[in-house]
Amino acid sequence: MRNCIIASTSTLHGGDYLDYLLDTLQRHFESCSSILFIPFARPGGISHEEYTAKVASAFAKISIGVKGIHEFEDPKKAIVTAEGIFTGGGNTFLLVSQLYKMEIMQLLSETINKGTPYLGTSAGSNICGLSMQTTNDMPIVYPPSFQTLGVIPFNLNPHYLDPIPNSTHMGETRETRIKEFHAFNTLPVLGLREGSWLEVIGEKVTLKGDLTARLFLQNQEPVELEPGTDLSRLK
């Protein structure tokens, strides 16, 4: 039975890394003495070692150890034997490229679907959808496929930002970009605001946090979904 926390972000403004989620994560990983961290997204280009140390520092607050997948000779075995798994944020193109390069995308999906507790933030959440095509990231590398884990039956846009009234910014809004996606694709897209996350228990997907999320469906006006909404029906 799937058991996932899929969060828009790792850090809220003015807070420390993962602090706003720690109480939730303590319950989520209550059966784990340690977790496997996948650092491939490398925010800002930091090394796997630096990123893993940052995550380890945060999880030490709830007495859970962390080891990076890059520390294992056999990454496939590391995934299969992990008590819990966390994929951090950064660049989704890089993350997806590395998962395919190491031939562990499908294995990671299978392991999550068998019930290993999973946490994703930002890019690590992006890959929980059916594809990575609604990421916000620059295509700094070229993955062999945009297909991702398919843990949830729709796509995500983490860090979703609403248009700012009277802004002089002339670039596309997130809503505009998602409409561009829907010109060619039928998948629902959930705009997940900062501080919001999805809780996945088995087949049930529930919106958590204090904010609404914005749901985009092809050829329909976007709608706001309240915290507590069951998203399992989205397909």
Q: What is the pTM of this model?
A: 0.96
What Å distances lie between residue 11 and 159, 195, 232, CA to CA?
11, 8, 26
Distance between first and last Cα of the chain: 19
Tokens of 4: 């996932």
Residues with Cβ < 8 Å from 63, sequence gap 6 or more? Answer: none
Residue 222: strand, helix, or coil: coil
Strand partners, 192: 158
- Told to judge if 159 belongs to the known catalytic residues of this protein, a careful annotator would answer yes
CATH of domain 3-225: 3.40.50.880
Active site residue 63: no
Which of 109, 137, 182, 196 is flagged as catalytic?
Answer: 137
Nearest of 53, 20, 17, 15 to residue 37 by alpha carbon = 53
Q: Which residues contact 84 (CB under 8 A, 6 or more apart)?
A: 28, 29, 31, 32, 34, 35, 36, 64, 116, 117, 118, 119
pLDDT tens string for the chain (235 positions)?
899 999 999 999 889 999 999 999 999 999 999 999 999 999 999 999 999 999 999 999 999 999 999 999 999 999 999 999 999 999 999 999 999 999 999 999 999 999 999 999 999 999 999 999 999 999 999 999 999 999 999 999 999 998 777 777 666 899 999 999 999 999 999 999 999 999 999 999 999 999 999 999 999 999 999 999 999 988 7
| pLDDT recorded at residue 170 | 60
Whole-number pLDDT of residue 234: 86
Place of tokens 């529930």: 206
> How is residue 122 written in tokens?
């930002």
Instruction: Write down the catalytic residue from 10, 97, 109, 122.
Output: 122
Reading the block at residue 9, the tokens are: 């972000």
Domain parsing of the chain, residue ranges: 3-225
Please tell me the predicted confidence (pLDDT) of residue 202.
96
Per-residue confidence (pLDDT) for residue 140, from 0 to 100: 97
**In angstroms, rounded to a whole number, what is the distance separating the alpha carbons of residues 203 and 113?**
10
Can you give the pLDDT at residue 13? 86
Annotation marks residue 122 as catalytic: yes
Q: Catalytic residue among 8, 125, 131, 159, which?
A: 159
